[in-house]
Amino acid sequence: MIIQKFGGAAMKDRTMRRLCIERIQEGLISYDKVIVVVSAIGRQESPYSTDRLLSITPSFKSSTASWDLAAACGELIASAVLSAELEEAGISNRVMHSVNSGIKTLGPFGNATIESIETSYIEKSLQDYKCLIIPGFQGMSVGGDYMTLGRGGSDLTAIALGSSLNASHVEFFKDVPGVMSADPHIYSNAKKFDSLTIDEFLPLLDCARPIIQKRAALHAKETAIPLCVRGIAVAEEGTWITPHSS
């Protein structure tokens, strides 16, 4: 079993989501079972992005229950859309959301932490479905409220699920072929790293646009789960991030 995480850029339109479906099909062939974690569709300009949903009314106040409830809707919509398109492609699946995801959170609204993951719901569903979809960026408080995990929190969702379920590894799909030495959109001579240890990877996240959330990467270090950062457009090796040097 593997975890595959698809971000907003990968989910932004039907053409890109066809690539997501291809990567999921490959994962099912190679690993038999795939748990998919999704971010909200698109970025600021998308009508279903988190930022647009939170702009519906100026009455939304950050770090409140209503803010988090609205923010969580982006990943729920993305999960429903991908689920329908997977079914259309012949891939049976189930969306595991709210209490069925088993993700229990605590702390402040808007920047909660994952307290624990009750995996029994997921494990039971994996008996009937080889592909499950779990909305990223969110969990449930002890009182039953949606809580979000901060900017980039879907990355944390994916890694926490991977470690709790003893997945082979966690794959992150991006618009670049892997972890690069510099931003390839700015520097044409940027090179892809074939592999990095987690300690080599962490300093590369101290920038304005880290390739994954640093808090998520720290969780990967703590739980020693391997990561792979790959390009969404082609079925090729990306950058492997290992707990220790080989």
Helix axes 65-88, 14-31, angle to 10 degrees: 70
246 band by pLDDT with thresholds 50, 70 and 90: low
Measured CA to CA, the distance from residue 138 to residue 157 in angstroms comes to 8
Residue 78: its H or E element: helix 65-88
- Judge: domain 2-174, CATH 3.40.1160.10: yes
Q: Which of the residue ranges 2-6, 27-31, 235-239 would you say has the lowest mean pLDDT?
A: 235-239
> Which residues contact residue 47 at a Cβ distance below 8 angstroms, ignoring those fewer than 6 apart?
none
The residue with tokens 């803010």 is: 67
CA-nearest of 127, 46, 36 to 82 is: 36
At 183 the pLDDT is 84
Measured CA to CA, the distance from residue 120 to residue 129 in angstroms comes to 14
- Tell me: pLDDT of 164 over 70: yes
At 10 the pLDDT is 94
Mean pLDDT in residue range 212-239: 94
Residue-range domain boundaries for the chain: 2-174
Measured CA to CA, the distance from residue 239 to residue 246 in angstroms comes to 14
245 band by pLDDT with thresholds 50, 70 and 90: low
At 49, the amino acid letter reads: S
At 237 the pLDDT is 86
At 213 the pLDDT is 96
Instruction: Give strand pairing partners of 131.
Output: 34
Diameter over CA atoms, the chain: 52
Give me the half-sphere count of Cα atoms (radius 13 Å) on the Cβ side of residue 197: 7
> What separation, in Å, do the N-terminal and C-terminal C-alpha atoms of the chain show?
22
Sheet (strand 146-148) strand order: 113-117, 103-106, 138-140, 146-148
Question: Sign of the CA dihedral 130, 225, 17, 152?
Answer: positive
Q: 99-151, pLDDT tens digit by residue?
A: 999 999 999 999 999 999 999 999 999 999 999 999 999 999 999 999 999 99
